[in-house]
Amino acid sequence: MIAYRLLSNADFTDLHDCFLSAFSDYEVDMRMSREQFQQRVTRDGIALEMSAGAFDGEKMIGFCLNAVGEWLGKTTAYDGGTGIVPPYRGRGIGKELFTFVEGELKRAGVVQYLLEVLTSNVPAATLYRKLGFVETRRLAVFRRPDTRISRAHDFAIRDVEEPDWQLYHSFWDGHPSWQNSVAAVERIPSDRKIIGAYIDAECVGYGVVFVPAMNLMQLAVSPQHRREGIGSALLASLETSEPLKINNIDESLNGTLAFYEANGYKQVLGQFEMIKTL
């Protein structure tokens, strides 16, 4: 009989092992060390006490990782990863796991549940729709196969220690996903790199990278200074020996998609962002 319960720090090693097994055949390479897994958990704000595991006896065979915070003005749970190890799939365990988790989230005062799922993962997307999740937007995932050549420019690019979020927000055309949000950036002060582009003393653009995985979390340029090479220079400055990983770009932002494509990145995957009202 499969049992379900909330997790604690004592489950972390088993959770990491279960995560690797559950995502061993995933379309995206999810292999990561224990340290990398911990960095990801920290960035996403995962709270083990609000996350759940499915167990066959003492063996963890499934999990649902949850973070809780504010999302567009509402107390929200974010599903930072749900998986069932291959031998236990097709038994309805995922549905039962979500039923268990939703009860715990409601008791904690959460009013909506947010997640992302690959558009190509039809079984998972179908399950989420059956569970009551509704698509809110589509998100693009970009990759580039080779490194870029940096270009000369007439503005200064400097490291940023204290980000000015009020200013940066004025550069946005949309809002970032949970994993790329301001809250996510603030959770990882030692695992992030923030740079700004300056004309004289004025900041006209910025970029943020989650260093352990080289994920681009945010990049934006002042509307008054676009098409001046600032975004491309920021992108080049954030890249090291390999291209960045660019995840969860709102597909409705046509200008943003065109910018990444112009810089050699190609969309390789899509995701549905979905929300369920609890």
Instruction: List, for residues 23-54, the tens digit of each pLDDT value.
Output: 999 999 999 999 999 999 999 999 999 999 99
Tell me how crowded residue 60 is: count the other CB atoms within 10 A of its CB.
21
Instruction: List, for residues 70-123, the tens digit of each pLDDT value.
Output: 999 999 999 999 999 999 999 999 999 999 999 999 999 999 999 999 999 999
pLDDT at res. 152: 58
Q: Which CATH architecture has domain 147-242?
A: 3-Layer(aba) Sandwich (3.40)
Instruction: List, for residues 143-199, the tens digit of each pLDDT value.
Output: 988 765 555 567 999 999 999 999 999 999 999 999 999 999 999 999 999 999 999
DSSP string, 212-264: TTTEEEEEEE-GGGTTSSHHHHHHHHH--SSPPEEEEEETT-HHHHHHHHHTT
Question: Are both 2-110 and 147-242 of the same fold?
Answer: yes
Q: Measure the CA–CA gap between 154 and 236, rounded to whole angstroms.
A: 15
Exposure string over 66-89, b if 16+ CB within 10 A, otherwise e: bbbbebeeeebbbbbbbbbbeebe
Helix (H, G, I), strand (E, B) or coil at 10: helix
pLDDT at res. 151: 58
8 Å CB contact between 210 and 188: yes
Average pLDDT over residues 227-240: 92
8 Å CB contact between 118 and 271: yes
Domains of the chain, residue spans: 2-110, 147-242
Residue that is written with structure tokens 């400097």 in the block = 158
* Residue 146 token pair: 């080779």
Q: Which superfamily does CATH assign the domain made up of 2-110 to?
A: Gcn5-related N-acetyltransferase (GNAT) (3.40.630.30)
**What are the C-alpha distances in Å from 126 to residues 10, 28, 107, 251, 265?**
33, 19, 26, 21, 29
| 240 band by pLDDT with thresholds 50, 70 and 90 | confident
Instruction: List, for residues 2-29, the tens digit of each pLDDT value.
Output: 999 999 999 999 999 999 999 999 999 9
pTM (2 d.p.): 0.92
**Percent above pLDDT 90 for the chain:** 92
pLDDT at res. 19: 98
pLDDT at res. 243: 84
8 Å CB contact between 115 and 215: no
Helix (H, G, I), strand (E, B) or coil at 94: helix
